[in-house]
Amino acid sequence: MKRLAVLGAGSWGTALAIALAPRFEEIRLWARDPAKAREMATMRENRIYLPGFRLPDGIRVSHELADSLAGADVILSVVPSRHLRSVLALAAPYISNKTPVVSATKGIEEETLYRMSEVVAESLGGSGHSPIAVLSGPTFAAEIAAGEPAAVVIASADAALAGQVQQAFATPALRFYSSRDVTGVEIGAALKNVIAIGAGICHGLGLGSNSVAALVTRGLAEITRLALVMNASPGTLSGLAGLGDLVLTATGNLSRNRSVGIRLGQGQQLPQILAATTMVAEGVSTCRAAHRLGRKHGVDLPIIQRMYEVLYEGKDPRMAIKQLMERPLTSE
């Protein structure tokens, strides 16, 4: 693998391109906005989403999909979940069914309740699609771009593909573990963002570490219950893509989803919060999809249910926490 195409020039896509630059002769980074692509190509920096980090010389920035995908040995998809299907529909004519696609998007498609790898597969032609893997784990973009040590998971139903990507992407600062549990990795990656909003609400309400620890632990139980019903492996949810990512996102100061929760706990309204940031907090849309998934599979998701009520039904965050505490007593 000599040429990498990265679809999506947000903070995460840019950070991965920077981190993986030493591993590839050339990386082509696709930005949806032509003006943004021109600025990044000229200034050699993503001043909107990842300021302060220079793009290595081996990274070419473009807004043309044909140019970005030409000759790619592997494609890394980092498009926000709500745009993924539309972008892949435009990209599909330029993607060979033999070129591996690695999905690094965390979320669930609201309309279909598909995981991101399922959206990729359907968008690229169903059963004859490109080989697919997913990338997830406890990572903040700025720390990855800075070269700080981190560990992530590459999952694929094709163990050989997972191993191939693992070897191609590994750097001295970025350690990759392989897995075949695509469902567990993706469910953990998506739902942890919803729990992180709840952890942020606790902080915004002025609650202490005990409250956050309880919510995170019971949140992991919810994620695991749903994932297991969907045929995930329980070990996955106790690993990097489950517990690791949840702890980081629910407690880290760089977490977008936690930040949304903090502002909700402080009394701000969701439209006001979302209008004030250029970053995507995937947990907001994922909450609605997760709420539907729980109903579809008959799984009790009390924290996600309360987050849904706060985000979409106007429930007071303090009342949501109170109702969680007053639920009937049960065993762990």
Is 192 in the active site?
yes
Q: Are strands 45-46 and 50-54 parallel, antiparallel or unpaired?
A: antiparallel
| DSSP letter (8 states) at residue 329 | P
The residue assigned the tokens 């309204």 is 269
Amino acid at 21: A
Start-to-end CA span in the chain (Å):
47
* Given the residues 2, 36, 192, 315, the one annotated as active site: 192
Q: What backbone torsions phi and psi does residue 223 show, to the nearest 5 degrees? A: -60, -45
- Say if residues 70 and 94 touch (Cβ distance below 8 Å): yes
Produce one character per residue of 201-226: b if its CB has 16 or more CB atoms within 10 Å, e if not.
Answer: bbbbbebeeebbeebbebbbebbbbb
Length of the chain: 332
Rounded alpha-carbon distances, angstroms, from residue 234 to 16, 143, 215, 251:
28, 28, 19, 23
Q: Can you spell out the DSSP letters for 7-72? A: E--SHHHHHHHHHHGGG-SEEEEE-SSHHHHHHHHHHSEETTTEEEEEPPTTEEEES-HHHHHTT-
Q: Strand 74-77 vs strand 3-7: parallel, antiparallel, or unpaired?
A: parallel
Among 232, 122, 121, 225, which residue's Cα sits nearest to residue 185?
232
The residues that are catalytic are 192
